[in-house]
Structure 1
C-alpha cells in the first residue's frame, strides 16, 4: 500500500492577484504564458501543485487560478488586454501593487465602479438562469 502524498494548498485567484501584477510591473506587454511562468516561479509552486487538475476539465488548477486573477484584474481596469492573451499593467494596477503589499482581494476590487458594475451584471445574469 502506497502512502498518500499531501499536496500543499493552491492559492486562490485572490491570493494570486498581487503576484500577477508583480509579473507585469515593468510595464511591458506580457503573454499570459509569460505571466503564468513568472507567477509559478515567484510563488514557489511545486511540481505536485502544478499537476493538480480541475475536477471537470483537463486544465491545471494553478493555471486556472492565474487566469481568473488576470481576468478579475482586467475587469477592475488594473490590467489591459492589449491583444488576445497579451496583457499590460495599467496605472491603477501599479497603484495597487505599490499600495497593497499584502495583496489585492475581491473586496478591494469592489471599490472600483467598473468592477462593481460588472459583478452586479453577472449576479443578475445568474438569477435569470
Structure 2
C-alpha cells in the first residue's frame, strides 16, 4: 500500500500512546512501519530535500495535529503522551482520524482558522472537502517547488532549442564559467569555438589556475545524439592527447552512447538538454528569481535554561 499519509498515521499513533507502547518518535516510527508492513526501502524513502525520511516527517505531523486537538501532549522534546481527551476518543474509536474528525475540537478549529469557531453539524464534511490533499505541509511545499522547477526547466529547454548554434556555444561558456570553470568570462570566451579541430568546439580551463583543460563539444540539436557522434568526439580528444571532455546537447543521448563513455579510458561527461536546463536554474543562468521563501524551525537549544 506504500507509505501511509500523515492522517492515516494519526489513529495508530494515538493507539500506541494509549497503550504506552511508544512515547518517543523513533520507536513510534519503527512500530508504525511494522504495522503498515513497510519495506526497508519504503522506511528509508526521504523527502525531496533529503533531510528526513517521509515516514518520520508524516509521523511528526500526525503527532502535531493530534496535539493541536488536545489528544496528545509533548512532555519534553522528542516525546509524546496521550491526554484524557485522547483516551476518551479511544473508548469509542472512529474508523480513522483526519483533519475533519479533529475539527470536532474547538482548539483544532481555532488553530486552523486563527480564531475560535462555534461547532457546527457540518464541520466534518466542510473541512474534509476543503483539505483533500493528504500531503504534509513539508511535502506540499517541496512538491510544489519541484513542480515549479520542472516546469521552468521545460521552458528553459524550449528556449534553448530556439537559439542559434552560436548563441548556444556562448551560453555553454557562460554556464561553465559560473560553475567555476574557465577562470574568467573573457578567458573562456577566447578559447571556446576557436579550434574547430576534428569535432572540438572549444577548450576551457578546468580550474582558475589552468592546471588542466577540458575540451568541449556543444550541439544545439533536436535529434538524439548516438554513439557515432561521441566516438568522433573521443577521437578528437585522442588527437589532442586530451584526457577530459564534455559533450553538451539540447537533445538527448542514446543508451548506446552513454554505455560507450562508461567503457573508455578518457573521461567524457554527457550533458543533455534537461541536465543543462537544471544546471542553468541551479546557477542562475538565463533565469531570474521571482520570490524567496525562508522556512524556519524552532531552535530548541535556544530555550534550554542552564
Which TM-score bucket, shorter chain as reference?
0.7 to 0.9
**Is 1:25 matched up with 2:18?**
yes
Q: Work out which of the two has the higher radius of gyration on C-alpha atoms and give 1 or 2.
A: 2
**Residue 63 to residue 29, structure 1, CA distance change in 2 (3 Å):** closer
How far did residue 99 of structure 1 move? 2.1
1:64-90 CA-to-partner distances (Å, cap 9, x unmatched) read 111110111011110011111111111
Aligned partner of 1:54 in structure 2 is 47
What RMSD, in angstroms, separates the aligned Cα atoms of the two structures?
Answer: 2.2
How far did residue 40 of structure 1 move? 1.6
**Is 1:115 matched up with 2:93?**
no
**Residue 62 to residue 28, structure 1, CA distance change in 2 (3 Å):** closer
Retained in 2: the 8 A contact 1:29–1:82? no
TM-score, normalised to structure 2, is 0.35
Retained in 1: the 8 A contact 2:4–2:36? no
In the aligned structure 1, how far is the partner of 2:49 from the partner of 2:21? 34
- Provide structure 1 residue ranges, at least 5 long, that are not aligned to the other structure: 1-7, 123-128
In the aligned structure 2, how far is the partner of 1:29 from the partner of 1:46? 21
Q: 1:92 aligns with which of 85, 104, 118?
A: 85
Aligned partner of 2:205 in structure 1 is none
Retained in 1: the 8 A contact 2:72–2:82? yes
Number of paired residues? 116
TM-score, normalised to structure 1, is 0.79
**Residue 82 to residue 48, structure 1, CA distance change in 2 (3 Å):** same
1:6-42 CA-to-partner distances (Å, cap 9, x unmatched) read xx42111100001101111235771222222222222
How far did residue 60 of structure 1 move? 0.7
Retained in 1: the 8 A contact 2:2–2:38? no
Q: Secondary structure at the match of 1:86?
A: coil
1:87-126 CA-to-partner distances (Å, cap 9, x unmatched) read 111122122233234111110101100011011129xxxx
In the aligned structure 2, how far is the partner of 1:96 from the partner of 1:84? 25
Retained in 1: the 8 A contact 2:72–2:80? yes
In the aligned structure 2, how far is the partner of 1:77 from the partner of 1:64? 20
